[in-house]
């Protein structure tokens, strides 16, 4: 009998994750580790131009990572990938069973990329990543000011529940925390948002998150 084509531990590996760990692919690597999936990591590097090579453009015409190939399904956009993986392999755990909670997981994932990602990335790039001569510190300061409003929203929610959908860590937390992980290198002052700081620490201390950071150092 042919082996089952699933990504369950111990069976045939069919999931490929494209993108170096120091890119947004880290979000997907974190998810795969949370779910205990076997996967092949294809370390396509944005810094070498590999994301714009024809072979990669055939997978993602946007020229970005992450991309996954899950048994023939090619999918890009980090939030969509994580929602898909969590639903397929983690319903009832990382992915909510109830439709209203599912909708709230989508809400937080869209919120993360539309309200938070751009300013937190701007702060990180201009305070930590670009060569010093190319940093725009005024842009970083403006980005930090823009973050005050959404961080206030998040802090208010986290004052009432430990995690975004309730008592349990879910895909909603992973997706938003993976964006806000850039707040530390971006030197965003979290002192006015203590609940966000506490929640972020709890998310970051999860073994799967820590294992993903290890990949970023390799």
Ligand X SMILES: N[C@@H](CCC(=O)N[C@@H](CS)C(=O)NCC(=O)O)C(=O)O
Which spans of this chain sit near ligand X (rule: CB under 6 A)? 23-24, 46, 51-52, 63-66, 77-78
The least distance separating ligand X from the CB of residue 24, rounded to whole angstroms, comes to 4
Picking from 18, 9, 158, 27, the residue whose alpha carbon sits closest to that of residue 80 is 27
In this complex, which beta carbon is closest to ligand X, that of residue 12 or of residue 73?
73
Name the minimum Å distance from CB 55 to ligand X: 13
We find the least distance from the C-beta atom of residue 121 to ligand X, in angstroms, to be 9
Query: Would you say 48 or 214 has its CB closer to ligand X?
Result: 48
Q: Measured from the CB atom, is 124 or 140 closer to ligand X?
A: 124
Q: Using only the alpha carbons of the chain, give its radius of gyration.
A: 18
CB 18 within 8 A of CB 42: yes
Instruction: Say which DSSP state 15 is in.
Output: E
Closer of 170 and 178 to ligand X (Cβ): 178
Half-sphere exposure of 167 (CA within 13 A, CB side): 0
Token pair for 21: 């760990």
Pick 110 or 152: Cβ nearer ligand X: 110
Rounded to the nearest whole angstrom, what is the least distance from the CB of residue 74 to ligand X in the complex? 13
Q: Which is nearer to ligand X, 23 or 212 (CB)?
A: 23
How do 40-42 and 15-18 pair as beta strands?
A: parallel
- The kind and range of the H/E element at 200 are helix 194-204
The CA–CA distances, whole Å, from 2 to 5, 14, 40, 196 equal: 9, 14, 21, 48
Nearest distance, CB of residue 133 and ligand X, angstroms: 22
Distance between the two ends of the chain, CA-based, in angstroms? Answer: 39
Strands (E), the chain: 15-18, 40-42, 67-70, 73-76
Nearer residue to ligand X within complex by CB, 51 or 170? 51
- Provide the minimum distance between the beta carbon of 16 and ligand X in the complex, in angstroms, as a whole number: 15
**What's the rounded Cα separation, in Å, for the pair 167 and 151?**
20
Least distance in angstroms from the C-beta of 97 to ligand X: 26
């Amino acid at each position: 009998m042919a082996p089952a084509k699933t990504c369950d531990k111990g069976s045939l590996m069919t999931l490929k994750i494209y993108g170096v760990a120091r890119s947004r692919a880290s979000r997907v690597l974190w998810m795969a580790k949370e779910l205990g999936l076997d996967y092949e990591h294809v370390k396509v590097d944005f810094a070498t131009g590999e994301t714009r090579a024809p072979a990669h453009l055939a997978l993602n015409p946007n020229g970005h990572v992450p991309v996954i190939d899950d048994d023939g399904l090619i999918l890009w956009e980090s939030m969509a990938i994580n929602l898909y993986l969590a639903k397929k392999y983690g319903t009832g755990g990382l992915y909510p069973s109830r439709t209203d909670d599912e909708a709230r997981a989508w809400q937080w994932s869209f919120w993360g990329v539309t309200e938070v990602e751009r300013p937190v990335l701007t702060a990180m790039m201009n305070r930590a990543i670009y060569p010093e001569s190319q940093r725009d510190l005024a842009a970083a300061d403006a980005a930090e000011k823009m973050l005050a409003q959404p961080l206030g929203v998040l802090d208010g929610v986290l004052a009432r529940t430990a995690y975004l959908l309730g008592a349990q860590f879910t895909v909603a937390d992973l997706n938003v925390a993976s964006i806000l992980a850039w707040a530390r290198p971006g030197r965003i002052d979290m002192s006015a948002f203590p609940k966000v700081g506490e929640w972020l620490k709890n998310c970051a201390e999860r073994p799967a998150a820590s294992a993903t950071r290890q990949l970023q150092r390799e």
